[in-house]
Amino acid sequence: MFEVILVLSLLVVVTVLFATEWLPVDIVTLLLLLVLLTTGILTTDEAFGGFGSDIIIMLASVFVLSGAMRETGIVDAIGSVLARVSAGRSENVILTVLMSSVAALSAVMNNTTVTALMLGPVTGLARQGQISPSKLLMPLSFAAILGGTCTVIGTSTNVAVSGYLERMGERGIGFFELTPLGVVLVLAGIGSMLLFGKRLLPSHAEAETLTEGYGLQQYLSEVVIREGSPWIGKRLSDCDFGDLDMRILSVVRDGAKLAAEARTVFRCGDMLMVRADVQSLMKVRETEGIEIQPDAKFGDSALRPDDHEILEVFITPLSGLRDRTLREVNLPSRGVTVLAINRHGHHLRRALSHVRMRMGDLLLVQGSPENMDSFRNSPDVAVLGELNPGLHRGKKGIVVLGAMLGGVIASATGIMPLSAGLLAAAVASVLLRTIPVHRVYQVIEWRLLILIAGMMALGTAMDKSGAADLLATGVVQVFGFGGTWMILAAFVVLTVLLTQPMSNAAAALVILPVAFSTAEQLGADGRTFAIAIAFSASVSLIAPFEPSSLLVYGVGKYKIADFLRVGGTITLLLVVLIIAIVPLLWPLYPGP
């Protein structure tokens, strides 16, 4: 009984840590494995067996193929076509074309990657059609999430569930086995958005200028260097502006606006455009030879030196800037100055150099055209409102699709397992130079792989300790009055709710052992329960905690209430469809 209590306690602790993000999910997962090992609940082979699973190979291969598609510009090409097709069309047509194309793309690519790649083009499409971006971005994320339900590689959850089935001695999920119900869910999502979702979406008017949009007006000031200033003759890098919490944006000298660079030497009469709060300005006022210009009015042009430009970019899922501070990455060395950061609709205004950047953060940056071109073409960021012209590489995209199709056909015809087919496609993509070798290790989401391997070990611990049987008995006692169908429905709802504090794949892997144990007690088909859990883990649109939703959350200026209102209503419909259709396509009881 001790082992049961320990495993269930670990499950609660892990869920809380995932929800609060007090520690990174990969660290939490590794700590979980250490506890399971040191307490003797799992052996070394059982704890680390997931890392050698073909699930990990499949997911890594899918990440590489998705990265190759990004590098070859397939998504940008689709964005260009989408912009041409939607030009001058009604909102209904734009939503239909957008959601259907994104869902189709997400069926063979990681949905977070699809959302990140389409975010810039869709924002540009909204501005082109004079539509509030908030009317298109939530549909974009929902389409990417639902599109992943259409194939076994469309989402990491499906891959994880397929691998669990094979470990239980069952047949894995076929590549297109989920497609019929997946298409139904996609159509239901599009239909719901057209019928009522678009009316529930907020409409936020865009700010006339980026200065206004980032709330910089009240934080911009003009500081004039007068005779006697200790700054005269010093380089910008030698002046300790960190203590003043002040950022020099540009220098006006003899009527010309210059970039504020580390080697800039201050002169008497220079007028500095600075970004600082009131307290910092009061400190500056006390400095001898410094004069603050009163009642200065600013627009975007005030931020930009004559030979510089301003871009609004966001941190991509695989960005090398994630979890690092601006001081650590030293963007000024790349000729890029960060003026402001927006996170989930909130402007971070103080001590930007110490802010640890997260996926989806919006950055207002400035630099010379040459530096901006280099920055916008890096995998670290994507520019809002435009395609990434540097990624188009002709027919290379067709090569990636051909490699993936070849791997799928090879696995479907029994020539090799799906994991081997996807691995062969990924290797072929590298050999054919559709993605640079150094990028291969950058595009793989290592945290997710660690998370899934760890959750597989937790599932093994639940089986081995008897915790799964105990929970299964409780489920049967509570919901048994309604029969097997009612119990299946309970697991669907429980999975949807558990995906709020946990990732989709983690929630599915935690529920699966209990579901299989329950099916065994009922004499039902565990495979049907697993399929239902795979779908229900992938359709939770209730809150912006799924990575695809997090990406659009800040850009669209959404509130959690917006997701509850729109996503919650659509999720309820999708749950009803899953409960009703899964038993029709996958019988509740095994055949003779």
* Per-residue pLDDT tens over the stretch 26-55: 999 999 999 999 999 999 999 999 898 888
Q: Any idea which of 156-165, 295-304, 355-364, 416-425 has the lowest mean pLDDT? A: 295-304
Q: Over 70: is that where the pLDDT of 303 sits?
A: no
CB contact at 8 A, 41 and 6: yes
Instruction: Return d(Cα 228, Cα 136) in angstroms, integer.
Output: 55
Range of the domain at 435: 2-204+400-585
Domain boundary among 297, 331, 361: 297
**What sign has the CA pseudo-torsion 314, 316, 320, 321?**
positive
Sign of CA dihedral 104, 109, 111, 113: negative
Q: Would you say residue 78 has pLDDT above 50?
A: yes
CA distances from 209 to 307, 310, 409, 533 (A): 19, 11, 51, 46
- pLDDT, averaged across the chain: 84
Answer yes or no: is pLDDT of 206 > 70.
no
Torsion of CA 370, 374, 375, 378, to 10 degrees: 170
Closest alpha carbon to 50 in 452, 576, 356 = 452
Distance CA 482, CA 579 (A): 13
Residue 212 lies in a domain: no
| Residue after which a domain boundary falls, among 240, 271, 297 | 297
CB 270 within 8 A of CB 253: yes
Domain identity same for 508 and 560: yes
Residue 571 has pLDDT above 80, yes or no: yes
pLDDT band at 345 (very low <50, low <70, confident <90, very high): low
Say yes or no: 545 and 440 in one domain: yes
> Domains in the chain: how many in total?
2
Same domain, 39 and 117: yes
pLDDT at 124: 79
In eight-state DSSP terms, residue 195 is I
β pairing state of 256-259 and 247-253: antiparallel
pLDDT at residue 219 greater than cutoff 90: no
Which of 27-41, 49-63, 324-338 has the highest mean predicted lDDT (pLDDT)? 27-41
Report in angstroms the alpha-carbon separations of 179 from 58, 120, 151, 175, 570: 19, 28, 6, 8, 19
- pLDDT bin (cut points 50, 70, 90) of residue 390 is very low
Bridge-based pairing of strands 309-315 and 362-367 is: antiparallel
* Predicted pLDDT of residue 392: 47
Asked whether residue 184 falls in the same domain as residue 241, the answer is no
What pLDDT shows up at residue 437? 87
Query: Which of 278, 297, 316 is the last residue before a domain boundary?
Result: 297
Residues 473, 509 within the same domain: yes
User: 512, 488, 464: which is closest to 166 by C-alpha?
Assistant: 512
Tell me the helix, strand and coil percentages in the chain, rounded to 5: 60, 10, 30
27 with 71, same domain: the answer is yes
Q: Is the pLDDT of residue 307 over 70?
A: no
Q: Is residue 331 part of a domain?
A: no
> Is 319 inside a domain boundary?
no
| d(C-alpha 529, C-alpha 155), whole Å | 18
C-alpha–C-alpha distance, residues 78 and 68, integer Å = 15
d(CA 55, CA 293): 62
The CA-atom distances, in angstroms, between 500 and each of 19, 58, 535, 539 are 8, 25, 15, 11
Dihedral sign, Cα of residue 163, residue 165, residue 169, residue 174: negative
Range with the largest mean pLDDT of 302-311, 356-365, 575-584: 575-584
Alpha-carbon distance of 194 to 187, in angstroms, equals 11
Q: Are residues 11 and 45 in the same domain?
A: yes
Three state DSSP letters for 436-504: CHHHHHHHCCHHHHHHHHHHHHHHHHHHHHCHHHHHHHHHHHHHHHHHHHHHHHHHHHHHHHHCCCCCH
12 shares its domain with 121 = yes
Question: Side chain identity at 469, as an amino acid letter?
Answer: D
d(CA 556, CA 206): 10
Q: Which residue has the tokens 């695809």?
A: 548
Cβ within 8 Å of residue 236, ≥6 positions away: 248, 260, 261, 262, 263, 264, 265, 266
- Evaluate whether residue 386 is within a structural domain: no
Q: Are 239 and 282 members of one domain?
A: yes
For residues 190 and 42, membership in a common domain is answered with yes
237 and 194 part of one domain = no
Closest CA to 133 of 162, 81, 98: 98
Q: How far apart are CA 189 and CA 196, in angstroms?
A: 11
- What are the φ and ψ backbone dihedral angles of 275, each rounded to 5 degrees? -115, 115
Q: What is the pLDDT of residue 280?
A: 67
Contacts of 381 (CB under 8 A, 6+ apart): 313, 314, 315, 316, 319, 321, 363, 375
**Is 171 within the bounds of a domain?**
yes
User: How does 318-345 read in b/e, with b if 16+ C-beta sit within 10 Å?
Assistant: bbebbeeebeebebeeebbbbbbbbbbe
For residue 266, give the nearest of 294, 287, 282 by alpha carbon. Answer: 287
Cα-Cα-Cα-Cα dihedral sign, residues 440, 441, 443, 449: positive
User: In CATH, what number is assigned to the domain containing residue 272?
Assistant: 3.30.70.1450
What pLDDT score was predicted for residue 24? 86
User: Residue 244: which pLDDT band, with cuts at 50, 70 and 90?
Assistant: low
Does 411 share its domain with 553? Answer: yes
